[in-house]
Chain A
Amino acid sequence: QKEVEQDPGPLSVPEGAIVSLNCTYSNSAFQYFMWYRQYSRKGPELLMYTYSSGNKEDGRFTAQVDKSSKYISLFIRDSQPSDSATYLCAIAAGSEKLVFGKGTKLTVNP
């Protein structure tokens, strides 16, 4: 079993839809949970970061972590065409290195 599993999609939604992106992980030692956004022909950039179970909200984005189920989610409310990108989950056990999911490509259609 891979350390981090992420459905690659692609996912296509209409503008204004609620988007749910998910990852599962296998190592219970993971304690840092992140979501990166990568626009076409650009490097990934950090979107959300959480350290514990529960929800963290930032504008239209909500990151959710369920350590008991080893499941993390990113919700995007009122999705916009500018949200079209690849979203990668990333998880770390400590400060050494991140393990990335393969990324989910999202397209928001006007």
Chain B
Amino acid sequence: DADVTQTPRNRITKTGKRIMLECSQTKGHDRMYWYRQDPGLGLRLIYYSFDVKDINKGEISDGYSVSRQAQAKFSLSLESAIPNQTALYFCATGGLAGGRNTGELFFGEGSRLTVL
């Protein structure tokens, strides 16, 4: 099984619908992240969480919200989806390595969202 699991892998929805993307991890990491990837724009950080009680906005958080339900679970919600939120979304985890947090991230396989 994958260390970082995202569901759904693909989703097509309509403008105005509420969408939730879910992420779970078995790596035991404390830090979890949501990124979106668009052609020509690279990976952009939406939200990140350092533990269950800590949520931080990234560079493009408008239109998104998150919930850290447990150390291993971090979900991303689009309250009212719009077409320019069509993108590939990645969940990632990170944590201590050899006693030091190097910033290395482990990514899921991605969730492709299309908003019509």
Contact = CB atoms under 8 A, between A and B. Distances in A.
B95 to A, nearest CB: 9
Given A32-B102, A34-B103, A97 B48 contact: yes
Pick the most buried of B105, B109, B110: most chain A CB atoms within 10 A of its CB. B105
A42 interface: yes
A97 B42 contact: no
Contacts of B110: 41-43
6 contacts: A43-B92, A43-B109, A88-B43, A95-B102, A96-B103, A98-B105
B78 interface: no
A97 B59 CA distance: 11
Interface in A27-61: 32, 34, 41-46, 49, 51
Contacts of A51: 102
Interface string B68-112: 000000000000000000000010100000001111111111100
Contacts of B43: 44, 88, 100, 103
Given A41-B110, A43-B110, A97 B45 contact: yes
B104 A101 contact: no
Contacts of A67: none
A95 B105 contact: no
Contacts of B90: 43-44
Contacts, number: 56
Nearest to B109: A43
B12 interface: no
A94 to B, nearest CB: 8
A96 B102 CA distance: 9
Contact of A43 (B100, B104, B108): B108
Contacts of A43: 4, 90, 92, 107-110
A103 B109 contact: no
A2 to B, nearest CB: 10
Interface string A45-86: 110010100000000000000000000000000000000000
Given A32-B102, A49-B102, A95-B102, A100 B107 contact: no
